[in-house]
Structure 1
Amino acid sequence: MASWWRLRVPASSANLGPGFDSLGLALSLYLHCRFRTATRLTITVSGRDAESISTGEDNLIWQTALRVARELGQELPPIELEIVTEAPLGKGLGSSASAITAGVLIADAILGLKWKNERILDVAASIEGHPDNVAACILGSVVASAVDSEGTAHAVRLEMPLHFEVAVVVPDYPLPTHKARAALPDSYSRADAIFNIQRASLLIAALSTGTASAFPTALEDRIHQPYRAALVPGLEEILRLRAPGLLGCCLSGAGPSILVFLNQGRNEVTDAVTKIFAAHGHGAEILDADVDREGCLVWQEGAA
């Protein structure tokens, strides 16, 4: 029998307010996979929202691995794949990016490619369509990313300051990414572009230096959150929320989850967010998540 491999990919939050399609943060909610070559494809899924994940040929992890092999002109053998999920699906926590990253890692392991993170990032970003979530999945912590004029993805990892914390508040309804994208305009004014460039730059500087006084200004945004507010009841109040220990709130990815930056008073701050959702008729769950500082991990069972 072929030996087993294991991998772990963190969930992620993208945009972080003003950094639309460029900034991301890895979260300690994981997609776990155990896999080995087999005579036929077998996929089992357990964990959070497992019933929403295909166990057939159309499984996103498997299709990604097949695509990587096909684009290299190689054939990927069938595998036995065990999937365990911790992050909710369709809530703005990068579930598709985690799955795509896992698929690239599976192809890399099975085909013996031994790709470095830069290649894994570039391939995963080309499949996902934007680099922010997959960069966080691969590198961990906070990432700034971009795709150059030739289509190659680049990312730089920052260490999240230890005195900054994050929390995730998840309301009781999904928001499909395509619907959230459709709410955005085709163009923006110069004033709004400048507004976001200023805040995204300030946010990177604040996260690099641990400067709490830059918040909540550093999380302000005019590119995506104002247009998605109608899809996330209570968002406008949540973005205006001020409380002791709270640095600020923003949509996690396309939403509807809320990413909360804080430096103290975790329970009080997250409870305030859930109360706003409740005032708009929705329950909300506070996830036990922090910043993942390792990024994706792959290892072979029994290896020293």
Structure 2
Amino acid sequence: MLKIQIPATSANLGAGFDSLGLAVNLYNYVWIGKSDILEISSADGTKIPTDETNLVYVSAKYLFEQCGKKLDGIKILQENNIPMTRGLGSSSACIIAGLYGANLILGSPFNTDELVNIAAKIEGHPDNTTPALLGGIVTSVYEENRKVHWVKQEIYRHLDFFAIVPDFELSTAFARQCLPETVSHMDARYNLARAALFSASLLQGKYENIRIAVTDRLHQPYRMELIPHAQDVFDKTYALGAYGTYISGAGPTIMSIVGTKNYGFEKEVRRYLDESGLETWKIYKLSIDNLGTRVVLE
């Protein structure tokens, strides 16, 4: 069986709604191989679908069908370290695992661009699936013809990414329902400028820009209402020296970008959460994964 490592992802990055995403070093592992029957199991006790509704299987089957082949059976073993339905790309990790594994089993008939397009079609948008596959920070545009135009940037700056993960789930579908149908020209212009500023500032090391670059008017103000204590957590991270804090994906995870020499940040955030009655919220200290999905040796 192939052992595949898939990184968690953080999408939107504030102002880059449905277009910006980055991969981080928190990984799901999926073992996948040929079988005469459908065999799906969990390696860590996480409850997952073990029938044909399993997203890894659905994605693998879809790729087989694109080659005109029938998937009669497959063996899938999942280790789920990415928190589910928390805004860290757990569903995208499953999609990429299924596509990547199936492509290898089939002899790699699809190239990277084709896999990017197929993953975005399954997910509905490319901001998580593309960095999950490619790694780094990815800017992507999904056209109506189901083609993704993307640019990957590898970041080797001295930055930590702290994922502050609440103890409740928030589905992407539900979080999208709270967004307005239309936005003003002024708000669109506001976001365009900041989304463009984000990647350039990270690449150039102009961290003083990040706080401005992650502000947003298209989705975060509405989703903040769905995440109790979110504004207080934002304020605390900035008081502790974060360069920028934003809602990761659809939420509820809150992501803070922090300099690696800010040694007390995690401890102080943990203390704040505990003192605020949020003891069950978790903190993950992460960094950018520039490699993306890959096969790893046992």
Superposition TM-score tier, normalisation by shorter sequence: over 0.9
Aligned partners of 1:164 and 1:210 also within 8 Å: no
Name the structure 2 match of 1:103: 98
Q: Which amino acid aligns with 2:19?
A: S
Name the structure 2 match of 1:253: 249
- Distance (whole Å) between structure 2 residues aligned to residue 10 and residue 176 of structure 1: 19
- Distance (whole Å) between structure 2 residues aligned to residue 204 and residue 73 of structure 1: 40
Name the structure 1 match of 2:286: 289
- Distance (whole Å) between structure 2 residues aligned to residue 67 and residue 102 of structure 1: 12
CA deviations on 1:239-295 (whole Å, 9 max, x unpaired) are: 344235410110110000111101132542563377268637563111243221210
Name the structure 2 match of 1:50: 46
Are positions 1:133 and 2:128 aligned together? yes
Q: Which amino acid aligns with 2:216?
A: D
Within the candidate set 151, 169, 177, 1:174 is matched to 169
Aligned partners of 2:160 and 2:285 also within 8 Å: no
Summarize the alignment of residues 218-237 of structure 1 with structure 2, pairs less than 5 Å apart.
218-237=213-232
Within the candidate set 121, 127, 139, 1:144 is matched to 139
Aligned partners of 2:6 and 2:293 also within 8 Å: yes
CA deviations on 1:149-201 (whole Å, 9 max, x unpaired) are: 43201221112242222111111111121111111000101111111111111
SS in 2 for 1:216: helix
Gaps of 5+ in 2: none
Aligned partners of 1:93 and 1:253 also within 8 Å: yes
Summarize the alignment of residues 13-162 of structure 1 with structure 2, pairs less than 5 Å apart.
13-47=10-44, 50-51=46-47, 53-162=48-157
Name the structure 1 match of 2:258: 262
Gaps of 5+ in 1: none
Q: Which amino acid aligns with 2:17?
A: F
Q: Which amino acid aligns with 2:38?
A: L
Q: Could you tell me how far 1:116 is from its partner in structure 2? A: 2.2
- What is the RMSD computed on CA atoms of the aligned residues? 2.1
For normalisation by structure 2, the TM-score amounts to 0.92
Within the candidate set 239, 250, 265, 1:243 is matched to 239
- Distance (whole Å) between structure 2 residues aligned to residue 208 and residue 268 of structure 1: 23
Q: How many residues align?
A: 296
Q: Which amino acid aligns with 1:249?
A: T
Are positions 1:199 and 2:191 aligned together? no
Aligned partners of 2:9 and 2:132 also within 8 Å: yes
SS in 1 for 2:192: helix
- Distance (whole Å) between structure 2 residues aligned to residue 218 and residue 40 of structure 1: 50
Aligned partners of 1:31 and 1:84 also within 8 Å: yes
- Distance (whole Å) between structure 2 residues aligned to residue 258 and residue 279 of structure 1: 16
Q: Could you tell me how far 1:236 is from its partner in structure 2? A: 2.1
Distance 1:229 1:278, change over 3 A: farther
Q: Which amino acid aligns with 2:55?
A: L
Identity of aligned residues (%): 34
- Distance (whole Å) between structure 2 residues aligned to residue 29 and residue 266 of structure 1: 20
CA deviations on 1:116-165 (whole Å, 9 max, x unpaired) are: 22111111111110001011101111111111343201221112242222
Aligned partners of 1:234 and 1:276 also within 8 Å: no
Aligned partners of 2:270 and 2:283 also within 8 Å: no
